[in-house]
Amino acid sequence: MKKNKDKTIEEALPDRHSDVLPNKIRRISADDFPDEILGAVRLLKENGFKAYLVGGCIRDLVMGKKPFDFDITTNALPEDVMSIFQNVKPTGIKHGTVTAIFSSVHAEITTFRSEASYSDCRHPDSVIFSNRIEDDLSRRDFTINALCYNQDEGLLDLYNGIEDIENGIIRSIGNAHKRFREDALRILRCLRFSATLGFEIEADTQKAMLDCSPLLKNISYERIYSEFKKILVSQYTKETLLQYSNVFSLVLPQIFPAENVGNCTTDESDATLYEKYNGPYERNDVYSGFYRSVVAASLCPPDFSIRLAALARQDPECDTQDQVPDAAQQRAKQALRLLKADGKTVARTLSILKNADIHFSGDRRCIKKALSVYGPELLSDIALLRIAENRAYVATLEDKIRKCNDMTAFPVNDPDFKNIKGRMDEDELYLHVLDEIEDILIKCECFSVSGLSVNGNDILDAARVYRENVLISSHDCKVKHNSTADGGKYVSVILELLLNAVIDGRVPNDKVHLCGYIRRILDKLYALSQYVDNNK
C-alpha cells in the first residue's frame, strides 16, 4: 500500500509546463525485440515482402520504455500472411489485419494501406492496399506513432517524429482536421498521449481536435471508456482534464459540465470556435468546486474507481466544497452506465461513494471493527480518497493565496481558510488508518468472522455437548427440546460476539479459549430463555 507522507503538493502535482527539457532519444537495435517478433519480420522478407515494426512499440523504445504490444506493417496481403504463419487469427481481416500468435508474444500484422474515405468518422469505407510504406505512414494519426524499423534499414522517420518526441509535442500527420474527421476516436487518443506522456498538443492539431470534438458522438462508448480510463489514471490527468474539459463534457456531461463546444462542419474554414476553447474558463478557476475535484482526482492513486469517485464527489456546478453523497452516486452511476463499464468497476465505484463519509477513528480496535464491516480494500479506498480531498483542499487554498498576491488581500473569513487546520489533521488521521490497516494485515490479526479460529460447526458441536451434559441432566423436558439448547439459530449472533471479544482483546483468537467463551455465551442464552419461560 503506497502512501506519500512526505510528498509536497508540488511533487504530487507534476507540471508538464514547467522547466521542459528535451526528451532523451534512445537508439534502438534488434536486441530490443523478442526473437519471435524479429523472426516474423524476417520470415515476411524471406517470402519476398517488405516488413517493418511500426507505431507504439517503436515510440516506446526510443523513449526508453518497454513495449508490450508489437505491430508489423507489410505489403503482404492478409491471405499471404495467413499462408506464411502457422498460428494466425483474422482479427481485423476486413481492414487488412491479422494476428500472428507465438509462444510468448503475438503481433498484429497489417497490410500497407493508402487513403480512403471515412463516412462514419471511425472506419474507412473501403481499404485500399498499397505496396509502399510511404502510403501507409501518411494516413497514420500522429508523427510520434509513424516511426518504423527493421534490421536492414534501421529507423525510418518520415514525419520528424523523433524531433517531436524530443520536444514533447503531439502533432498530426498532414491535415489535422482531415485526420480527426476520418476517425474521431483520435481526439481521445490525442488527449490520452498528452495525459500519459505529458506532451503538449501542437497548435494546429489542438485547433482541429477542438473543432472536430462534436464528432465524438459517432464513437461507441465502449471505445470512449477504454480511452477515458487510461486518461484518468495517467500522470498528467489534472492538466488534461482541466485544459480540455469541454471535450470531455461532450461524452460525459454527468461529470463534466458543458460550456463551449466545437463546430465541426464539412467545410474546414467554418471551424471557428478554437479561440473560445483556449480562453480561461471560470469553472477551471481555483475558486471553483470543479477545479478542486480534478485536483483531488489527480492526487488519488492511479486507480480508475477512486479517481472517478473523486470527480463525482464534487458537484461540477457548485462553487463550494459541499458534497451530496446521493447526488455523487447518481452522477457516477449515470456516467458508468453510459460508458458501459463492467459490473465490478461500477460496484466498487458506487461502494466508495456510498461509504465515503463514514466516521474514522484512529483507535486500532475501531479500525478492526470497521474492517469487519467494510473490508480492507474498501476501507483503504475511502481513506485514500479522503486524503486526496484534504490535500486538494490545501492545494487550492494555496492557489487562492497566490492569486491574491499577498496575504493582506486574502479574505481571512473565507471558510476554506478557517477549515485548513481541520483538513490537515484529518490527513494525518487517514494516513494513520492506512498504516494500521497495513500492520493488521501483515500481522494477520483477526478482524472478521472468517478469521476466527472457530466456525459455525464448532458452535453447533459446543451446543450439542452443552445440551447433553447440562440440559438433559436437569430432567427438564421443556429444556430438552428448547431451540436455545441447539444453538442453530444463534450461530451468526455467537460468531459476532466472539469476533467482538477477540477485537476488544477479551479473548485470545485460539480454539480452546473461544470454545470456553462459547460455553459462557450458551450459559447466558440458556439463563435468558429460562427467565422468559418463567415469566410468561
| Contact (Cβ atoms closer than 8 angstroms) between residue 396 and residue 286 | yes
Domains annotated for the chain, with CATH where assigned, are 21-167 (3.30.460.10), 289-445 (no CATH), 450-534 (no CATH)
Instruction: Calculate the CA 434 to chain-centre distance.
Output: 20
Burial 428-453 (b: 16+ CB within 10 A, else e): ebbbbbbebbeebeeeeebbebeebb
Burial 376-393 (b: 16+ CB within 10 A, else e): bebbbbbbbbbbbbbbbb
Instruction: Calculate the CA 467 to chain-centre distance.
Output: 55
Place of cell 523504445: 61
Closest by CA to 57, choosing from 96, 77, 35, 28, is: 28
Compute CA distances 317 → 254, 284, 291, 323, whole Å. 10, 11, 11, 11
Q: How far apart are alpha carbons 446 and 366 in whole angstroms?
A: 13
State how beta strands 97-101 and 106-111 pair. Answer: antiparallel
Closest by CA to 252, choosing from 280, 190, 294, is: 294
User: Which set of grid coordinates corresponds to residue 319?
Assistant: 462553487
Query: Whole-structure pTM over 0.85, yes or no?
Result: no
What is the full per-residue pLDDT of the chain (536 aa) written as tens digits?
A: 334 444 433 344 444 444 445 777 889 999 999 999 999 999 999 999 999 999 999 999 999 999 989 999 999 999 999 999 999 999 888 889 999 999 889 999 999 988 666 666 666 667 789 999 999 999 999 999 999 999 999 999 999 999 999 999 999 999 999 999 999 999 999 999 999 999 999 999 999 999 999 999 999 999 999 999 999 999 999 999 999 999 999 999 999 876 544 434 333 332 333 333 333 334 445 457 788 899 999 999 999 999 999 999 975 444 444 455 688 999 999 999 999 999 999 999 999 999 999 988 899 999 999 999 999 999 999 999 999 999 998 888 777 666 665 555 555 566 666 677 788 889 999 999 999 999 999 999 999 999 999 999 999 888 888 877 665 444 443 333 344 444 456 788 899 999 999 999 999 999 999 999 998 988 887 777 666 666 66
Q: How far apart are alpha carbons 274 and 257 in whole angstroms?
A: 19
| Contact (Cβ atoms closer than 8 angstroms) between residue 382 and residue 358 | yes
Q: How far apart are alpha carbons 434 and 440 in whole angstroms?
A: 10
DSSP class of 444: T
Closest by CA to 224, choosing from 188, 258, 179, is: 188
